[in-house]
Amino acid sequence: MSTELGKFKAGSPMASTLRMDRMPHIWCPGCGIGSEVNSFAEAVKRSGIDPKKLVVVSGIGCTGRVAGYVNFDSIHTTHGRAIPVATGVKLANPELTVVVFSGEGDLSGIGGNHLIHAARRNMDLVVICNNNFTYGMTGGQVTPTTPNSAIASTTPYGNYEYPFSLPFLMDAAGATYIARWTSMHARNVTQSIEEALLRKGFSFIEVISPCTTLYLRRNRLGDGVDMLQHYQENSILKHGADTRETAIDYQGKIVIGKFVDKNKPTYLEASDKCSIKLVGDDYQLYGKTIPEREAEEKAEKERIAARRAAMAADEAQGEVVPAITRKASAAKVKKAPAKAAKKAPAKVAAAPKPSKKAVVKPVKKAAAKAPAKKAAVKATVKTKVVAKAAKKAAPKATGKTKAVVKAAPKKTRK
Amino acid sequence: MKTVPADPKGVDSGPHFMDGDHALAEGALAAGCRFFAGYPITPSTEAAERFAERAPEVGAMFIQMEDELASIAALIGAAWAGQKCMTVTCGPGFSLMTENLGLACMTETPMVIANVQRGGPSTGLPTLTAQQDMMQARYGPHGDNMIIALCPDSPQECFDLTVEAFNLSEFYRVPVIILTDETVGHMHEKVVIPPADQIKVVPRNNYNGPKEDCRPYKFDSKGGHPMVRAGDGYNFHITGLTHNEKGYPVMTADQNKIVVTHLMEKINSNTDQIIRLDEDQIDGADVVVVSYGITSRIAVKAIQDARKEGIKVGSLRMITIWPFCEKRIRELSGKVKAFVVPEINYGQMVLEVERCAAGRSKVISVNHCGGAVHDPDVILDAIRKANQ
């Protein structure tokens, strides 16, 4: 058995981005976290960012374990504190790209205060929030996003609280990039994470995902595939949607898409601007002047653009088939990455060139980015491939799962 | 401990007239601290204010976080991203910080936390002094862990001990707590900051060997193991879970024994290098006054008066409060008639003294519930009683 596992590990297309020495992971079959991690790993590859300069920070819970499986510098923190730890990492070394990968209970429950304040500061972080409406690790308790009337172990007669709509919360708090997908929209998740990795400011990506073992079983909603089908039938793609209209009712419609993408100086840019006013042009942070840091940033951007161009060339020749699209129909696979590649260098080129007055030029930035963004939106509406695959699998599975649900004892994990 | 001269950029050399809180911030900057995350709380706020004011010119980062939970969490992130870091707080904030103080101990993250103590419990006496968090500093976080705590008695020592706190913290990779109090924090005195080349600092030791040999931890009950810095390409992993030297979770009783033993012994088996005491006329003394922080300065008056009365009184001032100077108290117990332990709490460090005296010498607690310092006469009375 161990040899088979070894073969699987060595052969995995994610071998370089995941810690294969820690596999198998703890997540249940049908859970959405695995596909999110897959999307994340794929997005990191596609983005062209230097994986050495990437730090992943997680809190506690099922999603909190992500930091332990990704093969980057990674920190598994205490419950709810992933964002402040990530804030420390980012501010202590602004060259790093910092991603917070955690669950909705961790981020919006115990860590809610940190979430809103990081958004308010426009801290340069990418926050990926797995929202499965449940505290999975502790056995399926109600969370701040559990829809009203849903059953959880601590709301055995139905949830009577009002849930958070996270995109609305994040919008109100000042996040500059907000997207929501479901774990069925794997390619859109990848796309959004890629965009977030390449932009500056606080990015919040919510991924609605099934907790098969607890939330689905307790609410008699079938298994993972049933839930993917539910997502497919009930997701409403609405880019730029008013975040006030993104609430999720129990088994109701789910508004998905990229809701917010705007530019505003980040915490560090604002702090630089203030310090330069005070100290003058020779202001240094950690021994580096602003022009020095800008030059480094520019060089890094060029390296990223070069990597992306090289990947695009490879993909055009069909040498590299991204792992995430392998399951999708072969015909479409080649087109999609090629498109993504085309728009990608354009976006990098359009990205603002660091100037002497580093700090405020959001207006220019926005203007330059606009065409690239439109392309991105188009690319993200390519969910059909995945959706079809899910549909095919769904009818077979549903019959089985219902039987399983009935037979399954009310077991919870400790 | 390998030391280098301080970076002159953070050293504001010369004589100053400043309070203890400001001296904490200056000590941090002199020691090479370039990251400060904090939350305002009386009576520690002045230290944060000083750091915020000085940060741009020194090239350091200051951030006021949303609470103390976040402040100490940010330090953990900053430390692993390569910066020496500090926060200041007092009782209520320290209670919140104990959460990630545990994570910092578990992940062996260097950082300095100053607790400018005020009267408690709860909101207590925000603007008045106390020494009531002595045990909390040691036993605050859940689970077995060990920290180092230092106790300055003056603004000058706030500066000196902050530099020392950073040095110990870097070498032993442990949070070091400066347990000062409102009186010292708000007391203005002369503070002399030496020239940079006379300040010895332990620089951050980052691992730079081959990737396959990279281990964030070494469970050898010693200090000096290098940190791994984020962004250096080692793909390290750290977690609050019980882990192996690679940082990966291994949740077994056997592994927890290895980790806990290391965390405790890293400090406990190196007490000779860590502990600093200030002793006066202990040889031949009948009574020894064991004190720390501001109380030791009050005790001086009582000791002088007692000596005038012909009582042989020695003074043992604990500069290092944790680890406790167990060995010294054991040596003295049986030789002296009694230990007198004045402190501005209901009797905390006296418990340690009693434990080590083990019935061989009397131990007299001179407690005070906080809000003010002792009247020296109360300590004098206790010395007289001890000499009977």
SS3 labels along chain A: CHHHHHHHHHHCCCCCCECHHHCCCCCCCCCCHHHHHHHHHHHHHHHCCCHHHEEEEECCCCHHHHHHCECCEEEECCCCCHHHHHHHHHHHCCCCEEEEEEEHHHHHHHCHHHHHHHHHHCCCCEEEEEECCCECCCCCECCCCCCCCCCECCECCCCCCCCCCHHHHHHHHCCCEEEEEECCCHHHHHHHHHHHHHCCCCEEEEEECCCHHHHHHHCCCCCHHHHHHHHHHHEEECCCCCHHHCCCCCCCCEEEEEEEECCCCCHHHHHHHHHHHHHCCCCEECCEEHHHHHHHHHHHHHHHHHHHHHHHHHHHCCCCCCHHHCCCCHHHHHHHHHHHHHHHHHHHHHCCCCCCCCCCCHHHHHHHHHHHHHHHHHHHCCCHHHHHHHHHHHHHHHHHHHHHHHHCCCCCCC
Q: Which residues pair with A307 in a beta bridge?
A: none
Q: Which residues pair with B14 in a beta bridge?
A: B193
Which residues make Cβ contacts (< 8 Å) with residue B178, sequence separation at least 6?
Answer: B24, B112, B113, B114, B115, B149, B150, B151, B152, B158, B161, B162, B165
Q: Which residues pair with B125 in a beta bridge?
A: B119
pLDDT band at B221 (very low <50, low <70, confident <90, very high): very high
Provide the shortest C-alpha distance from residue B230 to chain A (in Å): 6
B372: tokens are: 């003010």
Interface test with A, best of B69, B98, B111, B207 (most A CBs within 10 A): B69
In angstroms, the CA A56 to CA A66 distance is 8
A68–B56 CB contact, under 8 Å: no
Q: Report which residue type is found at B14.
A: G
Q: Which of A390-404, B146-160, B248-262 has the lowest mean pLDDT?
A: A390-404
Q: Is the pTM of this model over 0.90?
A: no
Q: What is the pLDDT of residue A11?
A: 78
Q: Which of B63, B75, B238 sits opposite A76 (nearest CB)?
A: B238
Length of chain B: 388
**Among B185, B42, B120, B92, which residue's Cα sits nearest to residue B346?**
B120
In angstroms, the CA A389 to CA B180 distance is 65
In angstroms, the CA A66 to CA A40 distance is 10
Interface test with B, best of A58, A89, A137, A278 (most B CBs within 10 A): A89
Is the peptide bond prior to A337 cis by the omega test (within 30 degrees of 0)? no
- Measured between beta carbons, which residues in chain B are less than 8 angstroms from residue A94? none
B74–A88 CB contact, under 8 Å: yes
Number of H helices, E strands in chain B: 13, 18
In angstroms, the CA B182 to CA B329 distance is 28
Q: Over pLDDT 90: what percentage of chain B?
A: 99
Largest CA distance in chain B: 69
ipTM: 0.97
DSSP structural state of residue B312: -
Q: Report which residue type is found at B317.
A: R
Block mean pLDDT (10 aa), chain A, length 414: 68 86 92 96 96 97 96 98 98 98 97 98 98 96 97 97 98 98 97 98 98 96 96 98 97 98 97 93 94 95 96 82 46 42 42 42 43 46 44 43 40 41
Specify the pairing of strand B362-367 against strand B338-343.
parallel
Provide the shortest C-alpha distance from residue B141 to chain A (in Å): 13
- Domain edges within chain A: 2-287, 290-351, 356-413
Are A243 and A168 in contact by the 8 Å Cβ rule? The answer is yes
What sign does the CA torsion over B177, B143, B224, A286 have? negative
B144 touches chain A (CB under 8 A): no
Provide the shortest C-alpha distance from residue A313 to chain B (in Å): 26
**Among A75, A65, A74, A79, which residue's Cα sits nearest to residue A28?**
A65
Q: CA gyration radius for chain A? A: 21
Q: Report which residue type is found at B102.
A: G
For the domain spanning A2-287, the CATH number is 3.40.50.970
Size of interface A-B (CB pairs under 8 A): 153
Q: Which of B67, B71, B81 sits opposite A96 (nearest CB)?
A: B81
In angstroms, the CA A324 to CA B91 distance is 51
A275 touches chain B (CB under 8 A): yes
- Measured between beta carbons, which residues in chain A are less than 8 angstroms from residue B59? 283-287
**Among A328, A314, A313, which residue's Cα sits nearest to residue A187?**
A328
Surface-to-core class of residue B301, CB atoms within 10 Å of its CB (0-12 exposed, 13-18 middle, 19+ buried): middle
A114–B70 CB contact, under 8 Å: yes
Cα angle for residues B372, B376, B380 (degrees, 5° grid)? 140
Are A174 and A97 in contact by the 8 Å Cβ rule? The answer is no
Helix (H) or strand (E) holding B364: strand B362-367
Q: Report which residue type is found at A30.
A: G
- Measured between beta carbons, which residues in chain A are less than 8 angstroms from residue B77? 57, 75, 84-90, 92
B59–A286 CB contact, under 8 Å: yes
The residue behind tokens 């809000």 is B371
- Which residue of chain B has the CA closest to A68? B237
Q: What is the pLDDT of residue A393?
A: 44
- Measured between beta carbons, which residues in chain A are less than 8 angstroms from residue B96? none
Q: Which of B65, B70, B237 sits opposite A67 (nearest CB)?
A: B237
Specify the pairing of strand A97-103 against strand A203-208.
unpaired
A99 touches chain B (CB under 8 A): no
Are A185 and A235 in contact by the 8 Å Cβ rule? The answer is yes
In angstroms, the CA A79 to CA A73 distance is 19
Strand, helix or coil for residue B183: helix
A335: phi then psi, degrees, rounded to nearest 5: -65, -50
Q: Which of A68, A80, A117 sits opposite B237 (nearest CB)?
A: A68
Provide the shortest C-alpha distance from residue B245 to chain A (in Å): 14
Q: What is the pLDDT of residue A3?
A: 61
Which tens digits make up the pLDDT trace of B84-132?
999 999 999 999 999 999 999 999 999 999 999 999 999 999 999 999 9
Q: What is the mean pLDDT of residues B296-306?
A: 98
B154: phi then psi, degrees, rounded to nearest 5: -160, 160
- Which residue of chain B has the CA closest to A96? B231
In angstroms, the CA A194 to CA A44 distance is 7
Q: What is the pLDDT of residue A317?
A: 86
In angstroms, the CA A66 to CA A64 distance is 5
A75 touches chain B (CB under 8 A): yes
B180: phi then psi, degrees, rounded to nearest 5: -105, -165
B39 touches chain A (CB under 8 A): no
- Measured between beta carbons, which residues in chain B are less than 8 angstroms from residue A285? 59-61
Q: Which residues pair with B116 in a beta bridge?
A: B180
**Among B303, B336, B22, which residue's Cα sits nearest to residue B162?**
B22
